[in-house]
């Protein structure tokens, strides 16, 4: 597995086996967040800026930006949101939209090398978005489903992933700039959804040599104890080789799991971050959550 490198104007983040586990903060997204949605419709980016700050403070290395409010000019909104976030934090960005125009606008506003969320294996979508990704020298998340639907067969998903990587190469995007999303389904609906995801990740890591990126929150939809399920899903993916997830870094259990994973893999040198966070937690028990 090679490294995927993203950049803001001042900061570089690499995703790979010898790097700290990378969390892409998922909070800047109006889905299910009525206040954020209303503010975005008003071109008020104060909550976006705060979400950006909080997520970076909580350890997110990359920030996802989704401004799909369902009306108005999404491309313009995306460009403004990107500016707002860039003026607040130095994390590289992940431009998240179903609209090619919004992705184009977001990438144009980005200073550095961003990630695009996402293409699927559908041929029309690939041929629409990959030229935009290539033009901006960005990296892209490829979701392992296509016209035929979302298969539970790791073999079928693997073939879709391979199709995305091959098509990206045809547009001049190297495999290290494609991150495959195994598309983790809700375990309460699709039995063994986590296991299917783990099997896909292992095959992709072993055979395609691409990085993978899992959206973990999906897996717990409709079930109680979501933080525990999400944190366990994250560690499962990591054991399978994933070095990057899309998640909510403001979730305490998830955050401590990421820190623990960095200790276990050696990415947290001399356990320095782990020991410091535990000292902080002991000193400020009311503000710093304990694991």
Cβ partners under 8 Å of residue 22, min gap 6: 13, 15, 61, 62, 243, 244, 245
- Backbone phi and psi for residue 25, each to the nearest 5 degrees, phi listed first: -65, 130
Residues pairing with 149 in the sheet: 146
The only residue of 2, 5, 99, 232 in contact with a copy of itself, by rule CB under 8 A: 232
As measured in angstroms, the least distance from the Cβ of 196 to a copy of itself is 9
Cβ partners under 8 Å of residue 94, min gap 6: 24, 62, 63, 64, 65, 114, 115, 116, 117, 141, 246
The only residue of 233, 244, 245, 247 in contact with a copy of itself, by rule CB under 8 A: 233
Residues 139-198 touching a copy of itself, rule: CB under 8 A, are 187-188, 191-195, 198
The only residue of 71, 124, 270, 286 in contact with a copy of itself, by rule CB under 8 A: 270
Query: Given the complex with a copy of itself, which of 114 and 231 has the nearer CB atom?
Result: 231
Residues 196-215 touching a copy of itself, rule: CB under 8 A, are 198, 202
Query: Given the complex with a copy of itself, which of 5 and 265 has the nearer CB atom?
Result: 265
Angle between helices 193-203 and 226-240 (to 10 degrees): 20
The helix/strand/coil state of 18 is coil
Query: Given the complex with a copy of itself, which of 172 and 291 has the nearer CB atom?
Result: 291
- Mode of pairing for the β-strands spanning 214-215 and 211-212: unpaired
Residues 81-110 touching a copy of itself, rule: CB under 8 A, are none
Report the interface residues with a copy of itself, using CB under 8 A. Answer: 187-188, 191-195, 198, 202, 219, 223-225, 227-229, 231-240, 256-257, 260-261, 263-267, 269-271, 274-275, 278, 291
């Amino acid at each position: 597995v090679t490294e995927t490198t993203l950049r803001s104007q001042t900061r570089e983040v690499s995703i790979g086996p010898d790097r700290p586990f990378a969390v892409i903060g998922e909070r800047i997204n109006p889905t299910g967040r009525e206040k954020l949605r209303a503010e975005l419709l008003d071109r008020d980016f104060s909550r976006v800026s705060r979400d950006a700050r909080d997520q970076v403070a909580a350890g997110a290395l990359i920030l996802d930006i989704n401004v799909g409010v369902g009306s108005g000019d999404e491309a313009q909104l995306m460009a403004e949101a990107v500016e707002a976030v860039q003026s607040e934090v130095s994390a590289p960005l992940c431009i998240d939209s179903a609209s090619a125009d919004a992705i184009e606008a977001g990438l144009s506003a980005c200073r550095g090398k961003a990630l695009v969320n996402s293409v699927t294996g559908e041929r029309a979508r690939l041929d629409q978005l990959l030229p935009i990704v290539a033009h901006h020298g960005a990296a892209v998340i490829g979701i392992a489903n296509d016209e035929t639907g979302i298969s539970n067969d790791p073999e079928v998903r693997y073939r879709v992933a391979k199709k995305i990587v091959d098509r990206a190469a045809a547009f001049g995007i190297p495999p290290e700039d494609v991150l495959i999303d195994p598309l983790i389904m809700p375990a309460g609906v699709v039995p063994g959804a986590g296991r299917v995801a783990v099997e896909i990740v292992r095959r992709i890591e072993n055979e395609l040599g691409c990085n993978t990126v899992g959206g973990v929150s999906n897996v717990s939809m409709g079930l109680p104890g979501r933080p525990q399920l999400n944190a366990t899903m994250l560690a499962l993916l990591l054991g399978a080789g994933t070095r990057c997830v899309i998640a909510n870094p403001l979730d305490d259990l998830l955050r401590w799991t990421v820190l623990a994973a960095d200790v276990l893999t050696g990415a947290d040198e001399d356990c320095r971050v782990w020991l410091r966070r535990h000292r902080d937690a002991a000193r400020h028990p009311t503000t710093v959550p304990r694991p």
